């Protein structure tokens, strides 16, 4: 009996502590959309630096207003390591369905997989979840309806910026099959990123706003380097925006990061500026 009471108290304490880690919730969407950051002039500038050639596609969802913003919507791209957020969410959902939190083995893999993009940890979790076909089912449960695990290699998963932005919004703010504790664990991992990988969608975000994100980058013979970044940007007053920036055909990671960040900065400038009046 005493053991059960102690366990209940530990679970309650964990709930309180982890709940504090979630982003401040958004209120009801106002419907008052901010001006579209992707004006013809902005798109022309991005294209002059290779956005069209490198299939740059961006989607952002502002949960404070309920408004979407897009650059080349619907463009299908390869995820590279941004799929690790889906692997993390599936691992958390599996544990939750079993009436537990991540065990020692899962926890030892989740941290490195997100914080420093450890491939071995991702592969081990991918296999434990059931591989390609099972991940299709996990993804569908998590709301990833335009993301396809098309090969046994997780990094070749295909997706759209819209699907990733929608997924990141649900992970940060709900609704999601993941409960509050699972989402708080995910949010904590997405903030614990090694300094060398703190680039991408955090570009242009003001001090005081909190970013949880995951980058993906991989070279290939067919499509050059894929350079991607997905995340959620938390407004200190509540809510925020989710964002996904995807690109490929780069000669190197270093070549791709500046344009990915330029696109992210365009969004940050528009969606973090004070609202007039």
Query: pLDDT digits over 119-139, tens only?
Result: 999 999 999 999 999 999 999
153's tokens: 């290699």
Query: pLDDT digits over 132-160, tens only?
Result: 999 999 999 999 999 999 877 899 999 99
Average pLDDT, the chain: 93
What pLDDT does residue 221 have?
Answer: 86
* Confidence check: pLDDT of 168 > 80: yes
137's tokens: 């089912």
Whether omega for the bond prior to residue 175 falls within 30 degrees of 0, making it cis, is yes
Closest by CA to 132, choosing from 167, 166, 83, is 83
Q: Can you tell me whether residue 62 is helix, strand or coil?
A: strand
Query: pLDDT digits over 50-94, tens only?
Result: 999 999 999 999 999 999 999 999 999 999 999 999 999 999 999
Q: What CA–CA distance (Å, rounded) separates 239 from 95?
A: 27
Contacts of 108 (CB under 8 A, 6+ apart): 121
- Torsion, Cα 182 162 206 33, to 10 degrees, reads -110
User: pTM of the full predicted structure?
Assistant: 0.92
Q: What CA–CA distance (Å, rounded) separates 253 from 96?
A: 36
Write down the domain spans for the chain: 2-272
DSSP string, 120-188: HHHHHHHHHHTHHHHHHHHHHHTT-TT-B--SSSGGG-EE-HHHHHHHHHHHHH---SS-HHHHHHHHH
Which superfamily does 2-272 belong to?
DD-peptidase/beta-lactamase superfamily (3.40.710.10)
């Amino acid at each position: 009996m005493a053991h059960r009471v102690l366990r209940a108290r530990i679970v309650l304490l964990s709930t309180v502590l982890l709940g504090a880690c979630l982003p401040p919730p958004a209120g009801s969407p106002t419907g008052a959309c901010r001006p579209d950051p992707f004006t013809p002039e902005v798109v022309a500038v991005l294209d002059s630096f290779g956005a069209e050639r490198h299939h740059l596609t961006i989607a952002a969802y502002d949960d404070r207003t309920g408004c979407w913003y897009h650059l080349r919507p619907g463009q299908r791209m390869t995820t590279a390591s941004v799929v690790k957020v889906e692997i993390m969410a599936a691992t958390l959902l599996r544990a939750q369905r079993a009436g537990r939190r991540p065990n020692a083995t899962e926890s030892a893999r989740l941290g490195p997989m997100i914080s420093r993009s450890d491939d071995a940890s991702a592969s081990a979790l991918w296999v434990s979840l059931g591989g390609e076909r099972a991940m299709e089912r996990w993804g569908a449960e998590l709301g990833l309806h335009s993301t396809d695990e098309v090969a046994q290699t997780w990094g070749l998963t295909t997706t759209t910026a819209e699907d990733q932005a929608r997924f990141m919004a649900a992970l940060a703010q709900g609704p999601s099959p993941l409960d509050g504790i699972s989402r708080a664990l995910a949010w904590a991992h997405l903030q614990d990123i090694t300094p060398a990988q703190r680039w991408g969608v955090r570009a242009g975000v003001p001090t005081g706003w909190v970013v949880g994100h995951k980058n993906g980058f991989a070279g290939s013979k067919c499509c050059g380097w894929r350079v991607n970044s997905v995340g959620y940007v938390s407004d200190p007053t509540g809510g925020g925006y989710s964002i996904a920036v995807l690109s490929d055909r780069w000669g190197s990671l270093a070549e791709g990061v500046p344009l990915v960040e330029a696109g992210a900065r365009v969004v940050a400038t528009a969606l973090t500026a004070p609202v007039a009046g």
